[in-house]
Amino acid sequence: MKICLVTAFPPSRRGLNEYGYHIAKELQHDPLLSLTVLADELDSPQPEVDGFDVVRCWAFDKLSNPLRLLKAIHDIKPDVVWFNLLFSTFGNHPVAASAGLSIPALMRLSGYYTHVTLHHLMDNVDLGHAGVRHHRLYRAAGYLATRVLLMANSVSVLLPAYRRTLMERYGGENVHFRAHGILSARPEMPDFSLRGNPQQRILAFGKWGTYKRLELLIESFARVQARIPEARLVIAGANHPKAPGYVESVAERFRGNSSISFTGYVAEEQIPELFRTASVMVMPYSSATGSSGVAHIACEYGVPIICADIPDFREMGEDERLAIRFYKTGDADDLAACISNLIGDASLTREMAEQNFSAALRMTMPQIIRQYLRSFDLHKHQRALEPISRFRRIPGWVPSRSAIFRAATPRWTPWM
Amino acid sequence: MDVRAILLIGGRPEAAGEHFTGVPLAMLDLLGASLLNRVTHRMHQQGIGSIAVISEYDQFPDRQLSHDLRWFKATNGQFWRFTEAVFNDFAQNGAELIVVMRLASYVAVDYEKLVQFHLDRHSRLTRACEPQGEALDLFVISTSRRNDAAFIFRNMLERFRVQPDMFPLAENQHRLQTVADFRRLALASFAGKTSIEPQGRQIRPGVWVAPGARIHRDARIVAPAYIGAYARVRARAVITRGSVVERNSAIDCGTVVENSTVLPFSRVGAGLDVGFSVVGFRHVFHLQRKVDVEIADESLLDMAPTSATARALSDMVNLALYMPKAMLAGLREKGREIPATLPEAIQAAPPSLSAAAVEHQDRADRHFAPELMAARRYGNE
């Protein structure tokens, strides 16, 4: 099966590049698959990740993306075109983003089986926190874009609530829920001797500046440190593209505080070390844009999670049986109490870590990708077998059955 | 010398599996001819005049069977009494020796030598055995010893008043007690391990085709394989891995028959994958799972009338009624609902994922779409 994966892809640092990389890595393991990654163009030439067939044929905020992708896909002639999408994948400019989001529908019209993995919904995004003006206009555009995305052959979302929204509000019939997955094939059991020894490291990880902000966390941390002096705060990750300079400004403000460290952008190979030594991971968000990739990485390394009480995260925790402690969103006291109680209770920390690790084992990347491939395979088979189903209705005594069969089932040959 | 034979089909509790959908395995075609046919033909060739078959089952129409064969259906309770009665009848009508054989296995027997052995030893009862000594249900009984015969029949060929003389055969028997044995026998015959010869012409090494068979030029026959008389293999069908398509069967377009036997008069539908099975009489018996499934959908598996006249009439009636039936069906048909997507049962998370993750899915959607089919990958996939 030939698959074209349309995604942001490292070394690009645009949204979902890591998730796209892990999908591609997993697909690459299957010898029966031929994978081409149709990735975003880089700002400056950089070497491609080894072992992948990457065609950089679209660019952020470009109106020509539909035509360029269509041409690239026509050249490859894949069986499946798989989009790994956010609403802002193809651009921040509304017109460029909308043009990009129409590509799955165009691909389907061109005769390709098109699948979209949609990481969030406009309906669930707090546009205020995301730094968007003209809310109503954006909502209307988001509604239209969602409708257009649903024209793909099938759509996967990462939260059951999103599926319900798409089915009930948009009348989507081809929407499936699939777990986010933990971006790893074989998570390693956490080494508890590395944690709280001697420092209790509180980790915050993400792209900061919009709805992920650090002020609340740092304010809480001061209270935590008063109770637990050996606590340290590690803030990992770079700025959100919409908030350039945010992390640097916060780092500048707290330069004198040796208990708070800023790592900046964390490369893929540095992630294990970062999480293995963390006692707890905090998600100090003001709203959510879907299933949290960061929470899944924490599960992979068996790290307990403390998270703002946002309905999407609560649902994610319940559905995937993650061990998450929720604090009242925006309440620094509650967050501080939550962190202090957790890192002060070694047995609870360990219990949560084990629960998260156990959840991780249930949703490794191979398991998640297998679900996708199974559905692609079934669609392919169903499509090839449809003519057979019609052919069987022809009575047995009709002459020239063989000739009719050959005319009616041109796709049958590749099955042999 | 007047030598006659009684062939027994069934008659023992352990014989319950010696049939396929009510047709005894010995009556099913195997590479062009049934075992019963092969045995009777050999007996006739070697001077055994009259043959009676006593069976628990009805006779399956077989034009190749000798017309002077007498078929008696006996229920299990009366089976051995019936056998005794036929033995007595043969004796009264001048038979001097009677060969009694239970068709629960196949072995090539030289009946002339067997009878000669019996006469040379002045034996009252002779029993055939394998070269290693394992006894077979094959006896020669002198008709002058009716009481001995009666005793044997009343004990279902398992106990004797006098010890029989053992006649060693040149080859081992091939048991025929289950459908799997039947299929094994076909494979052993392809491998040359039995004396069964496929009834047809070897068109290329390992591929035998009987007269009247029609194979489309786009069909693939992979050796070893056998295509029976008047069988039909349509375009893009594949017959492979020791498969047997018996007489008057039809393999429709695109169907793959792999390591299977398609019994006479079977019509296998288009685009199917038949593997490790014995197919016929609207049944599929899967050899690995040992499961017998009846297929009600005629477009998947059907059975043609066994008589040529009936087949022709049936086709004519179908032709005449096709248009009226289609019109009637069109008038009655309500808009058929085409599922927009795959059912949730397929999309659902695997059991390894948490139960909670799948609980939200609507139970009503957890059914397979009526048009959904599954297929295996082949070749370049």
Residues 6 or more apart in contact with residue A70 via CB below 8 angstroms: A103, A106, A107, A110
ipTM score assigned to the predicted complex: 0.71
Task: Confirm if A320 and A307 have CB atoms less than 8 A apart.
Answer: no
Instruction: Let me know if residue B329 belongs to a domain.
Output: no
At residue B57 the predicted structure's pLDDT band, cuts being 50, 70 and 90, is: confident
> Coil, strand, or helix at residue A251?
helix
Q: Is it the case that residue B302 has pLDDT exceeding 60?
A: yes
Instruction: Let me know if residue B308 belongs to a domain.
Output: no
Which residue, among A1, A176, A318, would best test binding to B if mutated, counting the most B CBs under 10 Å from its CB? A176
Q: What is the CATH number of the domain that holds B58?
A: 3.90.550.10
Report residue B354: phi and psi, to 5°. Answer: -65, 150
Domain match, B154 and B25 both = yes
Bigger pLDDT: B106 vs B357:
B106
Domain match, B248 and B104 both = no
Bigger pLDDT: B141 vs B326:
B141
Q: Tell if the CB–CB gap between B360 and A177 is shorter than 8 Å.
A: yes
Range of the domain at B157: 3-175
How many residues does this entry show for chain A? 416
Q: Nearest residue on chain A to B219, judged by CA atoms?
A: A402
Chain A hits for B340, Cβ within 8 Å? 173-174
Q: In angstroms, how far is CA B350 from the centroid of its own chain?
A: 40
SS3 letters across B181-235: HHHHHHHHHHCCCCCCCCCCEEEECCEEECCCCEECCCCEECCCEEECCCCEECC
Q: How many domains does one find in chain B?
A: 2
Instruction: Let me know if residue B375 belongs to a domain.
Output: no
Instruction: Let me know if residue B54 belongs to a domain.
Output: yes
Instruction: Determine the angle formed by the axes of helices A94-101 and A65-76, rounding to 10 degrees.
Output: 20
Q: Tell if the CB–CB gap between A405 and B299 is shorter than 8 Å.
A: no
Q: Tell if the CB–CB gap between B379 and A396 is shorter than 8 Å.
A: no
Instruction: Let me know if residue B310 belongs to a domain.
Output: no
Q: Tell if the CB–CB gap between B350 and A370 is shorter than 8 Å.
A: yes
Chain B hits for A323, Cβ within 8 Å? none
> Could you say which of B303, B327, B357 is where a domain stops?
B303
Name beta bridge partners: B71. Answer: B53
Instruction: Let me know if residue B95 belongs to a domain.
Output: yes
pLDDT at B359: 44
> Could you say which of B303, B321, B339 is where a domain stops?
B303
Q: What is the CATH number of the domain that holds B245?
A: 2.160.10
Q: Is it the case that residue B204 has pLDDT exceeding 70?
A: yes
Which residue, among B347, B359, B372, would best test binding to A if mutated, counting the most A CBs under 10 Å from its CB? B347
Enumerate residues 284 to 323 of chain B having a beta carbon within 8 A of any beta carbon in chain A. Answer: 299-300, 302, 315, 318-319, 322
Q: Determine the average pLDDT of the residues in B266-277.
A: 93
The tokens for A68 are 């360029």
Report residue A97: phi and psi, to 5°. Answer: -65, -45
* CA–CA distances in Å: residue A228 to residues A262, A341, B267: 20, 10, 80
pLDDT at A319: 85
Domain match, B145 and B230 both = no
Domain match, B144 and B269 both = no
Chain A hits for B343, Cβ within 8 Å? none
Closest partner residue to A379 (CB to CB) among B300, B342, B356 is: B342
Task: List, for residues A224-235, the tens digit of each pLDDT value.
Answer: 988 888 899 999
* CA–CA distances in Å: residue B286 to residues B26, B50, B183, B277, B291: 19, 38, 11, 4, 5
Q: Tell if the CB–CB gap between B254 and A402 is shorter than 8 Å.
A: no
pLDDT at A230: 87
Domain match, B84 and B49 both = yes
Instruction: Write down the residue that tokens 């927009």 correspond to.
Output: B340
Domain match, B142 and B224 both = no
Chain A hits for B356, Cβ within 8 Å? 318-321
pLDDT at B65: 67
> Coil, strand, or helix at residue A218?
helix
> Coil, strand, or helix at residue B46?
coil
pLDDT at B354: 47
Instruction: Let me know if residue B28 belongs to a domain.
Output: yes
* CA–CA distances in Å: residue B217 to residues A320, B232, B250: 55, 12, 15
Taking alpha carbons only, the member of B38, B92, B90 closest to residue B66 is B38
Is B269 near chain A, with CB under 8 Å?
yes
A10: preceding bond cis by omega (within 30 degrees): no
Question: Nearest 5°: CA angle at B335, between B333 and B338?
Answer: 125
Domain match, B101 and B230 both = no
Is A179 near chain B, with CB under 8 Å?
yes
Domain match, B154 and B9 both = yes
Q: Determine the average pLDDT of the residues in A207-223.
A: 88
Report residue A228: phi and psi, to 5°. Answer: -125, 90
> Could you say which of B249, B275, B303 is where a domain stops?
B303
pLDDT at B217: 93
Q: Nearest residue on chain A to B371, judged by CA atoms?
A: A389
Domain match, B223 and B171 both = no
Beta strands in B45-112 (DSSP E): 51-55, 70-73, 97-102, 105-106
Instruction: Let me know if residue B111 belongs to a domain.
Output: yes
Is B375 near chain A, with CB under 8 Å?
yes
Domain match, B55 and B149 both = yes
Closest partner residue to A401 (CB to CB) among B252, B322, B349 is: B252
Closest partner residue to B267 (CB to CB) among A321, A396, A413 is: A396
Domain match, B56 and B109 both = yes
Average pLDDT of every residue of chain B: 85
Q: Tell if the CB–CB gap between A405 and B254 is shorter than 8 Å.
A: yes
What is the distance between the terminal CA atoms of chain B, rounded to a whole angstrom? 66
Q: Tell if the CB–CB gap between B357 and A177 is shorter than 8 Å.
A: yes
- Which is it for strands B23-24 and B19-20: parallel, antiparallel or unpaired? antiparallel
The tokens for B197 are 């010869």
Q: In this predicted structure, which of A173-177, B218-222, B313-317 has the lowest mean pLDDT?
A: B313-317
Interface contacts A/B by beta carbons within 8 Å: 132
Domain match, B137 and B210 both = no
Task: List, for residues A245-281, the tens digit of each pLDDT value.
Answer: 898 998 888 888 888 999 988 888 888 889 998 999 9
